[in-house]
Amino acid sequence: MPILDPHSFSDTRQGRIRHIDFDFEVDFETQTLRGIGHYTLEAPAAGSLFFDTRGIFIERVSSGNTELEWEIDEQDRVRGERLHIKNSRAVSSLIIVFRTSPQATALGWLAPSQTAGGKYPFLLSQCQAIHARSLIPCQDTPSVRFTYTAKVKVMAPLTAAMSADRTKVESQGAFNLCHFEMPQAIPSYLFALAVGNLAFQRIGKRCGVFSEPEILEQAAWEFADTERFIEEAEKLFGPYLWETYNMLILPPSFPYGGMENPRLTFLTPTLIVGDRSMVNVVAHELAHSWTGNLVTNATWEDFWLNEGWTVYAERRLLEAIEGEPYAQLHAAVRRKSMLEDMRVFGFESDATKLHFSQKGIDPDEVFSTIPYEKGCSFLSVIENVVGRDRFDVFIRKYIETFRFQSLTTQDFLSFLREEIPGIDEKVNIQQWVFEPGFPRDALEPSSHLLDDVYQRLKAYEQGVLPKMEDVSGWKAPQIEVFLKGMPRPIPVEHCAYLGELFGLDKSRNCNLQTDYYVIAIVSGYTPIRKDVERLLSSVGRMLYLKPLYRALVDSAWSREFVRPLFETCRHSYHPIAVTAIVRILESAGL
């Protein structure tokens, strides 16, 4: 039965893309891609065929030697523009010649000054959730999967990387032609492209790191344990089916911590902190190789199936590698982040539900940690009532049953009820999935690593500041839990003391810096302004940008300079991040 996706014009009853062969030319001067796509459908289709586009200039559409009639006949604020291809006869293949816009929301074009090397420009893509349509004409819904090949022509000495195997790089005078093959079917949101001065270092039998040469050695060291993560994940979830697991360390403007593009995970350079304390993000992106990439949400209304499952899988992986106390520590950090997101939306908001109607809503507008953490908590409650051994059997069967498929929330719940009869009598599924807020029967993170932090927080509430000997052995997530648990505002002299106590002026951990800066901003600690401006001008990860800009607009002392600050920094942010910050500023009347 066809899946109706509120975020796509496509109608799979008309036909479904099975494979695409691309030819791309990358033009940094005009900040555009010229592309030719040779599309193969699953079966011959006649009549109308709808593709999603946004800002793409279509030059021609043909099948064989026959020009096909087409038009852009519908436009929508969220969905973009509908490419309506009109087939008077049944065809199984199409050719579309197109050019992207310099404003393509999937593409971030970086000047040399925004890269580690400072000499060459850089291009990166981010297609999740519904941005692939600004890069390629496609059925931009996670319920459609396709294989692809690509040839990407770039100016030398630059090379390209994609969510595919790079089979060869040909030198063509002033250009390089990079060839790619992706033999496994992926949805459009996992289509990925990056172009820059890229080097590669293998760090395991199945994994390696791409980055600019200037940071390659640091990156290879930071992620050296990745092969061990893969091996542990296979013990939990079954064989790794994507053959290779490479990572690309991007310039700082990348808007997320990571993006699980198959065969080429994109990672923010803010993970390179010199102590491997941020590799839980790699655990998360790797876990997507089973939950998300292999078994995929059918629409963005079912996003929790991707992210809730993946946070659960990440925690199991961290537990196997670092131990349960450490995994629980991370759970506590993220739980506090989720509750803060619920506070921002309002605890009765639809956006706090795991599943709700998103018709007319851009998925980026409601993006938060809620589907991640509430989804994980729901699965943890199920595990707790049925027992881990039985739940592990369920996990394996779930992945095996739905691999390389997309499913809806109702599909999952039907499978759950079939495999674990009587589950509704033990877990309030209606409340967890379809009602707002956070259920009271959620399991609380518990760890001896947390106990010490909570004691220090309780002491602070009684007027006792922590001393160096109290916190000298703390891990970075413990400091994060402490900072997230602090009352707000606090006396400005406490802001200065905590910054020095935790060495946050010297820290490379942006998680800690962001939590501390938010406390300082809302407390009116004005000396922090230069540090905040430095961070906002040097990173593009929305995990940091959004809480900092929210704090700045909500605080009287910083409100007057936040808009000029954003205008100074916006050129270094990805278009997705720019849109998110503009929403924050406009909602505050700035």
Mean pLDDT, 10 residues at a time, the chain of 590 residues: 89 95 98 99 92 98 94 96 90 97 96 92 97 99 98 99 98 98 99 98 97 97 96 97 97 92 97 89 96 98 98 97 94 95 97 98 96 99 98 98 98 98 98 98 95 96 95 94 96 96 91 97 97 95 96 96 96 92 94
Could you give phi then psi for residue 387, rounded to 5 degrees? Answer: 95, 145
Where do the domains of the chain lie? 17-197, 211-289, 295-434, 464-588
Say what the pLDDT of residue 282 is: 93
Cα–Cα distance measured from residue 18 to residue 178, given in angstroms and rounded to the nearest whole number: 23
pTM score over 0.75: yes
Spatial distance between the Cα atoms of 205 and 521, rounded to a whole number of angstroms: 46
Q: What is the pLDDT of residue 45?
A: 86
What per-residue confidence (pLDDT) applies to 1?
63
Q: Please give the C-alpha separations between residue 77 and each of 7, 53, 345, 360, 361, in angstroms, as whole numbers.
A: 11, 12, 22, 8, 9
What pLDDT is attached to residue 514?
Answer: 97
Joined tokens for residue 332: 């506590």
Q: How far apart are CA 33 and CA 260, in angstroms?
A: 23
Query: Which of 3.30.750.210, 3.30.450.70, 3.30.2010.30, 1.20.1070.10 is the CATH number of 211-289?
Result: 3.30.2010.30
| The pLDDT value given to residue 292 | 97
* Residue corresponding to tokens 């007057």: 560
Residues carrying an active site annotation: 285, 372
CATH of domain 464-588: 1.25.40.320
In terms of Cβ atoms closer than 10 Å to its own Cβ (0-12, 13-18, 19+), residue 53 is buried
* Sequence-ordered strand ranges (E) for 228-278: 245-249, 258-259, 264-267
Domain 17-197 has CATH 2.60.40.1730: yes
Residue 280: per-residue pLDDT: 87
Domain at 295-434: CATH code: 1.10.390.10
